[in-house]
C-alpha cells in the first residue's frame, strides 16, 4: 500500500534544487552538493504528504553525484587535490546521511547504483525485508542529476535525460511483486495472468511487443516525460501522486531486459 509519493522533475535543463529545498525546510544543509539537495527535495516532499514514523530506507540512482565526481576529476587532471567534502560527496550514499540526520533517526539504509532498473532493484530489496518483517514500512527513492555544461553531460551520460527525484512511502501487500525477465515471451505469460488490467509500459518497447501486449491487457497512456533515465520510477511515483489505485508496469532496457512491477 502506497502511503505517499512525490515526483519532481525538469522538462529540460537543470533544476534549482537548493531553492526547492528551501521551500520545504529552513534548515541549511552545510557541505551538501546538488545531488544531496535533489535527494532531500524529493524525500522531504514525499514525507510532507505522510509522516512516516519508522521506515527502512532504499535509494537508487543511475549515475549518482556526477557533478561532484566531475569536479574531483577536474581537480585531479589539473594535478590538484579534490576538496575534502567534494570528494566525500562523490559517494552516492552521502545524501542518505543528510536525510537521516535531518530526521534525527537511525534505520537500515541501502543505496544502489545501477544504470538501469534502479527503482525496480530498490523496490525488490524492500519487498524482501517487508516480507520477512524486518521492517513494516519502506521509504524508496530514485534520483539523478546532470551538470554544466549540459551538452557535455548528455553526450557522456544520456543525450535526452533530465533531472528528477522520485519517492514513495510504502507498506507491504502480499500481492505486490517485482520480477525481471530476459525474454519478452516471459513478460507476455506474466501479463496474461492479469487480463483486462491497465498497464503502463516503457516507451522503449518495440511496436510488435506493444501490439502483442494489447491483445491481452489494456495499455495505459501517461504524460510522464520520456526523457527520464529511470522511467519506471517516474511513472510509478507520478501515478501515485495523482491516484492511489493499483499499478501494473512493464519496463524495458536493452542492456538488462524486462521488468514487471505490480503494486497494490
- The predicted pLDDT at position 177 comes to 92
From the centroid of its chain, how far is CA 148? Answer: 22
Summarised one tens digit per residue, pLDDT across range 25-77 is 999 898 888 999 999 999 999 999 888 889 999 999 988 787 756 665 566 66
**Predicted structure pTM score:** 0.89
Distance CA 122, CA 124 (A): 5
From the centroid of its chain, how far is CA 189? Answer: 27
Distance CA 224, CA 232 (A): 10
Q: Where are the domains of the chain?
A: 2-171, 177-263
Same fold, 2-171 and 177-263: no
* CB within 8 Å of 224: residues ≥ 6 apart: 231, 234, 235, 238
**Residue 59: closest CA among 6, 123, 8:** 123
Distances (CA, A) of 57 to 3, 7, 23, 126, 167: 15, 17, 23, 8, 11
Name the fold adopted by 177-263. Answer: Alpha-D-Glucose-1,6-Bisphosphate; Chain A, domain 3 (3.40.120)
**Contact (CB, 8 A) for 169 and 6:** no
* Domain 2-171 top-level CATH class: alpha beta
- The predicted pLDDT at position 73 comes to 59
- The predicted pLDDT at position 10 comes to 83
Distance CA 73, CA 87 (A): 10
Summarised one tens digit per residue, pLDDT across range 204-215 is 899 999 999 999
Cis ω for the linkage preceding 149 (within 30 of 0): yes
Amino acid at each position: 500500500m502506497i502511503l505517499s509519493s512525490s515526483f519532481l522533475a525538469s522538462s529540460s535543463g537543470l533544476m534549482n534544487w537548493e531553492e526547492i529545498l528551501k521551500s520545504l525546510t529552513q534548515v541549511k544543509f552545510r557541505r551538501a552538493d546538488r545531488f544531496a539537495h535533489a535527494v532531500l527535495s524529493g524525500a522531504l516532499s514525499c514525507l510532507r504528504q505522510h509522516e512516516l514514523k519508522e521506515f527502512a530506507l532504499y535509494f537508487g540512482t543511475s549515475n549518482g553525484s556526477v557533478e561532484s565526481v566531475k569536479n574531483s576529476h577536474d581537480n585531479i587532471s589539473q594535478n590538484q587535490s579534490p576538496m575534502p567534502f567534494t570528494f566525500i560527496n562523490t559517494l552516492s550514499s552521502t545524501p542518505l546521511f543528510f536525510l537521516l540526520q535531518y530526521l534525527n533517526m537511525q534505520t537500515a539504509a541501502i543505496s544502489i547504483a545501477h544504470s538501469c532498473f534502479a527503482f525496480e532493484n530498490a523496490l525488490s530489496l524492500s519487498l524482501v525485508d517487508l516480507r520477512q518483517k524486518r521492517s513494516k514500512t519502506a521509504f524508496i527513492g530514485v534520483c539523478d542529476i546532470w551538470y554544466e555544461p549540459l551538452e557535455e553531460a548528455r553526450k557522456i551520460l544520456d543525450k535526452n535525460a533530465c533531472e528528477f527525484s522520485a519517492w514513495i512511502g510504502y507498506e507491504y501487500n502480499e500481492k505486490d511483486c517485482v520480477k525481471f525477465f530476459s525474454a519478452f515471451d516471459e513478460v507476455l505469460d506474466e501479463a496474461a495472468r492479469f487480463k483486462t488490467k491497465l498497464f503502463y509500459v516503457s516507451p522503449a518497447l518495440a511496436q510488435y511487443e506493444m501490439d502483442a501486449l494489447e491483445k491481452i491487457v489494456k495499455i495505459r497512456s501517461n504524460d510522464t516525460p520520456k526523457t527520464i533515465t529511470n522511467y519506471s520510477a517516474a511513472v510509478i511515483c507520478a501515478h501515485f501522486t495523482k491516484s492511489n489505485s493499483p499499478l501494473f508496469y512493464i519496463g524495458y532496457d536493452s542492456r538488462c531486459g524486462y521488468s514487471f512491477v505490480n503494486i497494490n
